[in-house]
A and B are shown apart, each in its own frame.
Chain A
Amino acid sequence: MRSVGIFLLPTLVFLVAFTYLPFGVAALEGISALGSLFQQENLNALRVTALYTLLAVPLSVGLGLLAAVAVEGTSRLRLLARALIFHPVILPTVAFAAVFLYLLNPLGSLQGLLRWLGLQNPLGDPVGAFLAVVLVGVLKDAGLYMLYYLAGLQALPKEVLEAARVDGAGRLATFFRITLPLLSPTTFFVGIMATLGALRNVDHIFILTKGGPVGATDHLLYRVYTLGFEYFDFPQAGALTLVLLTALTALALLALPRLERGVHYDG
């Protein structure tokens, strides 16, 4: 067909205006403040973001996989379990996180449970607050990753699994030697999604910890907000935005070749 190119126009115009042009705007704004990146608070934000990603990604992906294996099938109970695990995905993060304000309140009704876990005042302690933020992030997203894994599990070649069983391989062995390797494209994809999520979802930090205490949950994006929209220091916020965009670009370069293959040949 000819003249199909014109159909791309609406998307491309907005894409350039609000995705690629902003890249440049951030650079223009931030270039003068690049030196400030080495300030202690900004280095701290980098560290927090890296730690958060390193912890939240494997946990949410792992939970998603476990959940998928646990609820695969069609019994009524499994469908119910599936709905339960998935439901935080459709909730506003701020609403989901607000419930944890009560659950984690040091002197609230769950005091006993928290103490038993050795967490007396989770949100008032740097480590506890960080873990709380990770926990909420993981529980919020795991359901989505479960869906991807369920789809992945369904697409597995049944013959191979059957063959393994016939060969007398145990359930665990089958899972680790056969299922998991076969799922690796899904795992790669889910891992990328989770990393992306860890870099861009900070809504729960606004509700739970506001970046504190002592900066323990001061995620890069949260700091961009504080700098830009509370201190109105646009150059520094711009410089941090550039860091975030660099990380995202690196992720894209890592993922795009494989993603593209998927997009091209699936169908």
Chain B
Amino acid sequence: MNMKGIGIGLWVLLGLGLGQQTTITFYYPVGVAGPLARFIESYVSDFEKQNPQIRVNTVFGGNYEENQAKVVAAIRAGNPPDTAILLSQQLHTFLAMDAIEPFDPYIARDPELKKAVQDFFPAFMMNSTLDGKVWSLPFQRSTPILYYNKDAFREAGLDPEKPPATWEELVEYAKRLTKRDAQGRVVRYGVAIPTEDRSTWLLEGLVIQAGGLLYDPAGKGCKVLVDTEPVRRAMQFKADLARKHGVSPEGVIAWGTTPGDFAAGKVAMIYHSTGSLGFIRTNARFPFGTAFQPKLVRYGVPTGGANFYLFKGSDPAKREATLRFIKFMTSPELQARWSIDSGYVAARRSSWNLPLMRDYVRQWPQALTAREQLAYAKAELPVYNLQQVKDIIAEAEQAVVLGRKEAREATREAQRRVDEALKPFCR
């Protein structure tokens, strides 16, 4: 009887041991159009089905900026997540907080991870590596591209297979695409380049196209170049679209609603993340094309989007579970699925050879644009105190777009403020 009792006790203990769950916390943002949160949740539940001993506590943190603030707040409260998807350019922020760990020890001992690192597009690893260490792994990666409405092109007598290739052509096309009603009111704008609330991403693209770069790559996160001719030209170009050429809505164009406006046929060309492809695909009721963003002196865009980071303070069991989760989310299969669902660029080169992906690209060749554009991509602004720096530059850009300030004055002032904001981090 006693033996039996002990036996049962052992079984119970063993059962508990086997069934013991590891719970990991995972923060993620949604930065582009569409029901992306729903996709992420469904991947997580697939992961949990395959790994019943792991529970993933997902936190939708809002857009990139809000999610960032939440994660930082959680770290400061001594309660860091196990992993989070955060802008790849936030590396310096977390280094300054001493909150993250490099992947290198795990890459060294895990062949699967090693293979993954070699398989990511090099352009997507540019923001991840610093001083020879890998600090984050790509998940939702993108570049901004040009979307255009082929029906509108035809209607305006333009060749729908020949999108604009230069800034000059863009303006010219936009003029022809802008449609007015009998009272002279615009019913369709030629082009919309959003002025993002708190981000410099699209501006960075224009700056690269004008031959510049918003930062000094050798500046170790401390040198931002705002007061330069390419930045002024980029800001002025945006301002002129509405104020001089009348081909773009006046005022600051919201990032969030631009894909919807495009899908509704209210604007013929937009600059937006390739991540919005999924939304546009399901919502546009007209054939549309995607293209490289036109150049001034060269093609070029910043890479964008967000990566997985590893946070300090996780115990070994959680770390193991976290790595398994990250490997799942960055696997070629899941990257292909994610790319098809959202429009983000599948970050693994091998994803593109999967039958699933091949079928998709055959049906939607628009998805290839972003991948090809990677050849011209540069790392996006990596800098300390990122959010404040971006806010300052975005505000200067808004002031120029709204005609409140001359580009020269705005960039000079922004440069001074940015330098001021970097001071505590850079001596």
B-contacting residues of A (Cβ < 8 Å)? 105-107, 115, 120-121, 123-126, 128, 210, 212-215, 229-232
Contacts and interface: CB of A to CB of B under 8 A. Distances in A.
A125 B250 contact: yes
Interface in B239-270: 249-254, 257, 260-261, 264, 266-267
Contacts of B267: 107
Contact of B402 (A126, A229, A231, A232): A126
Given A107-B257, A107-B266, A232 B65 contact: no
B76 A232 contact: yes
A20 B306 CA distance: 43
B9 to A, nearest CB: 49
Interface residues of B, number: 29
Contacts of A215: 395
Contact of B387 (A105, A106, A126, A231): A231
Contacts of B387: 230-231
Given A105-B257, A125-B402, A232-B76, A213 B65 contact: no
Contact of A124 (B73, B249, B264): B249
Given A105-B257, A106-B251, A213-B251, 5 more contacts: A106-B257, A107-B260, A107-B266, A229-B73, A231-B385
B351 interface: no
26 contacts: A106-B257, A106-B261, A107-B249, A107-B257, A115-B185, A120-B251, A121-B250, A121-B251, A121-B252, A124-B254, A125-B250, A125-B251, A125-B402, A126-B402, A128-B251, A210-B198, A212-B197, A213-B195, A213-B251, A213-B252, A213-B398, A213-B402, A214-B395, A214-B398, A215-B395, A232-B72
A212 B195 CA distance: 11
A107 B395 CA distance: 23
Contacts of B197: 210, 212-213
B251 A212 contact: no
Given A123-B254, A232-B72, A214 B402 contact: yes
A215 B252 CA distance: 12
A124 B266 contact: no
B251 A214 contact: no
Contacts of B72: 232
B25 interface: no
A125 B388 CA distance: 22
B375 interface: no
